[in-house]
Amino acid sequence: MKKILFMSLALLLAKPNLAIADCFLATESNKIIKQNGDCKSRHTPCSTFKIAISLMGYDEGILIDETHPELPFKEGYVDYVESWKHPQTPTSWMKNSCVWYSQITTQKLGIKKFSDFLQKFNYGNHDTSGDVGKNNGLTESWLGSSLQISPQEQVTFLQKLLDNKLPVSVKAQEMTKNILFVEDLSDCWKLYGKTGSCDSTDSDAQTGWFVGWIQKESRIIIFADYLEDEKKLSYSGGKQAKEQARRELMTLIQPNSQ
């Protein structure tokens, strides 16, 4: 009996802690240069959806440039992140991933324009209904709710953005690209992108995204990294996805990697 219990315990301890879902996808010149995992399944976009909201906001004149409008924080806004308790500009909104700035922008758009944009963008499943029976699609649909998109679709969407081929003004696309700048990498590469973290639509798991591109002169690599873990992570899924994506990207830009 003791031997059986010991063997069972050993098997449990030996079981790898695998993510429920995982994908890294990178393309260059419209060709896949690296792909790991399931990149076709759709998931809640979380704060990566701010890229789409930015395009809508700039196209409609709700957003003006990188620093305007600056909106004040008000009591009652979503405030569980300390940096959100301060005034936000388009640049800080994207950097801090501020939920209430997104929600103000989508509410100014209204549900018809909001839905129309998603149809024109061909963004994921286009579903703006939100949580069942709550009529909150305008402010919650992308946060672990009805709207879903795959890593593959994220990359296609970003390719259109970089080609200025989305159905919005060139200004809207250029401004959005500007506020997505993250950091300078080695050897003159620049990193642009957006993280996303929220709970899975199908389980209690935590999801993480990092989507964007790296650029050096005329060379551009577009990527999407998605992960989903059975347990709550010690830090946000978006940060973990960003670290994972950076490791993958660095292998692609090392000398002799191509």
Active site residue 47: yes
Query: 247 pLDDT band (50/70/90 cuts)?
Result: very high
Least confident residue range of 6-15, 42-51, 189-198, 231-240: 6-15
Domain presence at residue 234:
yes
As to burial, measured by CB atoms within 10 angstroms (0-12 exposed, 13-18 middle, 19+ buried), residue 209 is buried
Domain presence at residue 4:
no
Domain presence at residue 39:
yes
Query: 257 pLDDT band (50/70/90 cuts)?
Result: low
43 three-state secondary structure: strand
Judge whether 73 and 85 are in contact, CB under 8 Å.
Answer: yes
Cis peptide before 87 (omega within 30 of 0): no
Mean pLDDT of 228-237: 71
| Residue numbers of the domain that contains 125 | 17-253
> With a threshold of 0.75, does the pTM exceed it?
yes
CATH of the domain at 158: 3.40.710.10
Domain presence at residue 3:
no
Q: Of residues 8, 29, 41, 47, which has the active-site annotation?
A: 47
Domain presence at residue 191:
yes
CA distances (Å), origin 137, targets 209, 229, 248:
21, 25, 34
Q: Give the residue among 106, 100, 210 at the shortest CA–CA distance from 158.
A: 210
> How many domains does the chain fold into?
1
What residue type is assigned to position 27 of the chain?
A: T
Domain presence at residue 9:
no
